Amino acid sequence: MIKVVKFGGSSLASATQFAKVGNIIKADPERKFVVPSAPGKRNSKDTKVTDMLYACYDLAEAEKDFSKELKKIKERYEAIINGLHLTLSLDDEFKIIEENFKKKAGSQYAASRGEYLNGIIMANYLGYDFVDSAEVIIFNEDGSFDADTTDKLLGERLSKLENAVVPGFYGATLGGVVKTFSRGGSDITGSLVSKAVHATAYENWTDVSGFLIADPRIIDNPKPIKVITYRELRELSYMGASVLHEDSVFPVRKAGIPINIRNTNAPDDEGTWIVESTCHHPAYTITGIAGKKGFVSVNIDKDMMNAEVGFGRKVLSAFEENGINFEHMPSGIDTMTVFVHEPEFAAKEQAVISAINRNAHPDSIEIEADLALIAVVGRGMKSTRGTAGRIFSALAHANVNVKMIDQGSSELNIIIGVSDNDFDTAIKAIYDIFVTTQL
């Protein structure tokens, strides 16, 4: 049984945090492979080491003196080393970095040193082997990721080791040029390592106890989600919930490895399990609520529209011609409404309207702005009758005017349109009815 553990920047920002991480790893002998991020912020006014590296390298590239800045970075690491009472010197490493900065080795190389150095410290602290990701995470010359070669090299290398530290965020071309992942960062590395070693679980340690049912900026102390499917996760993340980047879950999802989101500062919390599918009965009927503001509805009326083959296609073509993606298209009888993102639509509004008129000859077109869409997501909704009734009764009691409802046959989510002004109220009302009052 092998677990891969990835730690985020705030989990590794200081010696104190490193010590917590050490305890977590040692508490479970299955936690054999460790993927560290670069040191994050120690407090809200602090700077992440990665950002310090970018700034420092900018000076190098401008052929200005960067010694003071590099020294400060070195001090961050030394504070961790000293705090952990390690006998480790990074002098040689920093000499190489200084030389490479002078040679203008690239900002991706510069940024990657945050994880690289943290990985060295982590390996020393744990007594684990250190594997430089530049040797096992492989990019093509054009900067795209080479999944097959990576899986092969990473698998071969790690199969020979009892345990190891593999720094996140970067890799290199076979020619040795360091490249970083553009989005998802160390989460992707953790996912790749998990796949390569056929892990039984990929633990992703952060500073929150898993995903929350709703946005904590709207709901006080929302409950965490215990188990969520990839599908539900994607739905919540699409609607604005802050979760793992798509690219970072892809390798483990393909391999069927569950992800466990954990909190370094509350290691006893179970966190959230992300799985392909599950018979785990959710704690509440709904798994999560998420939403986004800033939508526009384009409401199109035409007598006998429903009898006109191709009408919907003609309307949608008008949006497509202008490169605008539609979000939802609820329809009544002789009326259809197309929901689009306001920023995308605003500039092309008149072009789209004239295209609709040209393509589909509607009787009228009405536009309403400042709308929000809310997704109520949950695999438990399909088997629970009355979910829709509870949602809309709750919204009515909260005096929220429902402007759009969309629920297809998948029954995994209901999309609700409300005015931007009603957004928070609506989310609170839905959270309360399903979670606070535990219906």
Task: Pick the closer one to a second copy by CB: 56 or 394.
Answer: 394
How is residue 24 annotated by DSSP? H
Specify the stretch interacting with a second copy by CB under 8 A; choose among 40-48, 150-158, 257-265, 407-415.
407-415
Kindly tell me which residue out of 402, 420, 432, 439 binds a second copy, with binding defined by CB under 8 A. Answer: 402
Considering the complex, what minimum distance in angstroms separates the CB of residue 149 from a second copy? 25
Q: How far is CA 348 from the centre of its chain?
A: 30
The 170-173 sheet, strands edge to edge: 138-139, 170-173, 178-180
Considering the complex, what minimum distance in angstroms separates the CB of residue 343 from a second copy? 15
Q: Is 9 annotated as a binding residue?
A: yes
Task: Pick the closer one to a second copy by CB: 38 or 430.
Answer: 430
Residue 411 burial by Cβ neighbours in a 10 Å radius (0-12, 13-18, 19+): middle
For 235-379, where are the E strands, in sequence order? 259-263, 272-275, 288-301, 326-328, 335-341, 364-377
Interaction of residue 403 with a second copy, rule CB under 8 A:
yes
Contacts of 103 (CB under 8 A, 6+ apart): none
Kindly tell me which residue out of 34, 228, 316, 374 binds a second copy, with binding defined by CB under 8 A. Answer: 316
Read off φ and ψ for residue 77, nearest 5 degrees: -70, -40
331 to 360, contacts with a second copy by CB under 8 A?
A: 331-337
- The structure tokens listed for 94 are 């920093």
Kindly tell me which residue out of 75, 99, 366, 370 binds a second copy, with binding defined by CB under 8 A. Answer: 366
Interaction of residue 307 with a second copy, rule CB under 8 A:
yes
Interaction of residue 289 with a second copy, rule CB under 8 A:
no
- The structure tokens listed for 190 are 């953790």
- The structure tokens listed for 427 are 């989310």
Interaction of residue 266 with a second copy, rule CB under 8 A:
no
Angle, helices 15-26 vs 107-126, to 10°: value is 60
Considering the complex, what minimum distance in angstroms separates the CB of residue 45 from a second copy? 36
Kindly tell me which residue out of 19, 55, 405, 439 binds a second copy, with binding defined by CB under 8 A. Answer: 405
**How many Å apart are CA 63 and CA 436, to the nearest integer?**
59
Specify the stretch interacting with a second copy by CB under 8 A; choose among 27-35, 55-63, 280-288, 300-308.
300-308
Mask for 408-437, x = binds a second copy (CB under 8 A): xxxxxxxx-x--------------------
> What is the DSSP track for 81-133?
HHHTT-----HHHHHHHHHHHHTT--HHHHHHHHHHHHHHHHHHHHTPEE--G
- Are 298 and 351 a contacting pair, CB within 8 Å? no
Task: Pick the closer one to a second copy by CB: 3 or 390.
Answer: 390
Kindly tell me which residue out of 127, 175, 343, 389 binds a second copy, with binding defined by CB under 8 A. Answer: 389
Q: Is 313 annotated as a binding residue?
A: no
**How many Å apart are CA 19 and CA 26, to the nearest integer?**
10
Q: Is 114 annotated as a binding residue?
A: no
Mask for 105-144, x = binds a second copy (CB under 8 A): ----------------------------------------
Per DSSP, the three-state class of 66 is coil
Task: Pick the closer one to a second copy by CB: 196 or 214.
Answer: 214
205 to 264, contacts with a second copy by CB under 8 A?
A: 231, 234-235, 238-239, 246
Contacts of 235 (CB under 8 A, 6+ apart): 290, 375, 377, 412, 413
Query: Of 209, 208, 219, 216, whose CA–CA distance to 433 is shortest?
Result: 219
Interaction of residue 287 with a second copy, rule CB under 8 A:
no
Strand 201-206 and strand 178-180: pairing?
Answer: unpaired
Interaction of residue 323 with a second copy, rule CB under 8 A:
yes
Report the binding-site residues for substrate. 50, 115
Can you give the binding site for a second copy, defined by CB under 8 A?
231, 234-235, 238-239, 246, 297, 299, 301, 303-304, 306-310, 312-313, 316-317, 320, 323-337, 366, 368, 375, 385-397, 399-415, 417
Report the binding-site residues for ATP. 6-9, 206-207, 217
